[in-house]
Amino acid sequence: MSALTGGRPAPRPAPRDRAADGPAPAGPAAVPFDVDRIREDFPILRQTVRGRPLAYLDNAASAQKPRAVIEAVSRFYTDMSSNVHRGLHELSERATAAYEKSRATVRRFLNAADDREIVFLRGTTEAINLVANTWGVQHVRAGDEIVISEMEHHSNIVPWQLLCERQGARLQIAPITDAGDLRLDALEQLLNPRTRLVALPHVSNALGTVNPVRRIVEIAHGRGVPVLLDGAQAAPHLPVDVRAIGCDFFAFSGHKLYGPTGIGALYARAALLEEMPPWQGGGDMIASVSFEKTTYNRIPYKFEAGTPDIAGAIGLGAAIEYVEGIGWPGIEAHEKDLLDHGTRALSSIPGVRIVGTAREKVSVLSFVVDGVHPHDVGTILDGHGVAIRAGHHCAQPLMDRLGVPATARASLSFYNTRAEIDALEEGIRSVREVFGS
């Protein structure tokens, strides 16, 4: 117990008010896009699988990690491994500075107004659960409604189901078209005086659909309804500006953004976070504790109970800086080229149907092969060194809506190449040969 602090956590620097003192320094300057150079930064991509060069096309499930992220995590454990916000010694001060630097990096990445609006969590799932169990419990009552859509990941369905069961509320489901576009007219018709929240994906993990989130927020806010966006698939593929979008909550996961697993972040407007009660109790989320009463810490620490994933947060900051160093123009152009090339390639194969042809989409190619279960497709492709995902992609209601039990999904990243798409095409043609299609 410290004689200087009376056993309380060591004081920490207050988060900087970015709205008051201007934007954070810009991220690393982007360099000309060179996929071969970029691939050299990802050690795992050098290996062979089943005697073939690895073509990793499962990025929507989890992206690979550049050396910069691996080294950032290693540096924490070799140079500063210590708890944050608690110690008066040098290692704790280094760890705290690095941890809070990553928070500022996330704030800049999302263009949030204030570092206090960024809460570190395990990922998108925990972030949505936090909102459901704090803001949701405060604001949702019997007879109220929460609007989601037919394209949701289970992580943006089940927390709201649990909340509705507890509070006596109900879910309303906004429909999509056969192509995978959200029907804005139907969404708007669902909004009524009982609607308490709209919770939708910015980008669909199973279809690649990019939803018109600014327009959705305008519609919802016009009815006085806040909006939560599941940004797990948006953050790796699109520049995100939460203030321009106008959303009230935005959640994303580090491991899909080339960062470590078990780390992510929730953006929420500071005024909302101030009103929300803590979800978990423990160390560092308190200002003072007695057996009679506990006073909670300031935001965002009120929502970060216990020792956080310090190495993960530092790795997430490194991942964001890596992406910023490549630059969004190059990333978006390259991934669009891959998507166009893949769409042409798969469309040229008889018996193959692409599932998800929305007007606006990112680099996801979900497909079915006539007469072949997607699991068999995935197994044969693995024999060609091609890693894809096969199944319902944690979106069973969407599969039901589309009338398929599952799909095969190739999800692309800026480190993928046209040659890997060609390997995918070759593998799918082999699937058809094996099954006599």
Strands 249-253 and 264-268: antiparallel
CA distance 266 to 127: 6
Between the alpha carbon of residue 144 and those of residues 149, 152, 171, 228, 285, the distances in Å are 17, 20, 9, 17, 31
The strand pairing partners of 199, in sequence order, are 228
Catalytic sites, residue numbers: 394
The count of C-alpha atoms lying within 13 angstroms of the C-alpha of 311, restricted to the half-sphere facing its C-beta, is: 16
Lowest average pLDDT, out of 17-21, 124-128, 291-295, goes to 17-21
Torsions phi, psi of 170, nearest 5? Answer: -145, 155
Q: Which of 403, 276, 368, 322 is nearest to 63 (CA)?
A: 322
Q: Is 68 exposed, middle or buried (0-12, 13-18, 19+ CB in 10 A)?
A: middle
Lowest average pLDDT, out of 11-15, 279-283, 421-425, goes to 11-15
Specify the pLDDT at position 28: 57
Confidence tier at 15 by pLDDT (50, 70, 90) = very low
Assign domain 328-434 to its CATH superfamily.
Answer: Aspartate Aminotransferase, domain 1 (3.90.1150.10)
The string of pLDDT tens digits covering residues 367-380 is 999 999 999 999 99
Specify the pLDDT at position 26: 53
Put residue 391 in one of left, alpha, beta given phi > 0 → left and psi -120 to 50 → alpha. left
Place of tokens 């107004």: 113
Rounded to the nearest 10 degrees, what angle do helices 310-326 and 67-75 cross at?
150
Give the mean pLDDT of 170-184. 98
Q: Which of 122, 159, 119, 133 is nearest to 285 (CA)?
A: 119
Specify the pLDDT at position 437: 63
Give the mean pLDDT of 205-232. 98
Q: Using CA atoms of 78, 82, 87, 91 in order, give the dihedral in degrees to the nearest 10.
A: 0
Specify the pLDDT at position 20: 34
The string of pLDDT tens digits covering residues 376-407 is 999 999 999 999 999 999 999 999 999 999 99
Q: Are 223 and 272 in contact (CB under 8 A)?
A: no
Classify 145 as helix, strand or coil: strand
Q: Is 282 exposed, middle or buried (0-12, 13-18, 19+ CB in 10 A)?
A: exposed
Confidence tier at 17 by pLDDT (50, 70, 90) = very low
Specify the pLDDT at position 112: 98
Give the mean pLDDT of 168-176. 98
All structural domains of the chain with their residue ranges: 90-324, 328-434
Proportion of the chain above pLDDT 90, given as a percent: 85
Classify 128 as helix, strand or coil: helix
pLDDT of 18 higher than 90: no
Q: Which of 247, 252, 301 is nearest to 274 (CA)?
A: 301
Specify the pLDDT at position 87: 77
Q: Are 365 and 410 in contact (CB under 8 A)?
A: yes
Specify the pLDDT at position 86: 79
Confidence tier at 29 by pLDDT (50, 70, 90) = low
pTM of the model: 0.91
Specify the pLDDT at position 2: 34
Q: Is 390 exposed, middle or buried (0-12, 13-18, 19+ CB in 10 A)?
A: buried
The string of pLDDT tens digits covering residues 421-434 is 999 999 999 999 99
Give the mean pLDDT of 158-187. 98
Q: What architecture is domain 90-324?
A: 3-Layer(aba) Sandwich (3.40)
The strand pairing partners of 369, in sequence order, are 352, 372
Buried b (16+ CB within 10 A) or exposed e, 323-348: bbebbeebbbebbeebbebbbebbee
Give the mean pLDDT of 308-336. 97
The strand pairing partners of 352, in sequence order, are 369
pLDDT of 286 higher than 90: no
Place of tokens 């160093």: 325
* Averaged confidence pLDDT in the chain: 92
Specify the pLDDT at position 294: 82
Specify the pLDDT at position 381: 98
Q: DSSP assignment of 275-303, as one string?
A: HSPPSS-STTSEEEE-SS-EEEPPTTGGG
Q: Are 200 and 206 in contact (CB under 8 A)?
A: no
pLDDT of 176 higher than 70: yes
Classify 394 as helix, strand or coil: coil
The string of pLDDT tens digits covering residues 36-92 is 999 999 999 999 999 999 999 999 999 999 999 999 999 999 999 999 987 789 899
Give the mean pLDDT of 153-167. 98
DSSP character for 268? Answer: E
CA distance 124 to 111: 18
Between the alpha carbon of residue 40 and those of residues 61, 197, 336, the distances in Å are 22, 44, 21
The string of pLDDT tens digits covering residues 99-121 is 999 999 999 999 999 999 999 99
pLDDT of 364 higher than 80: yes
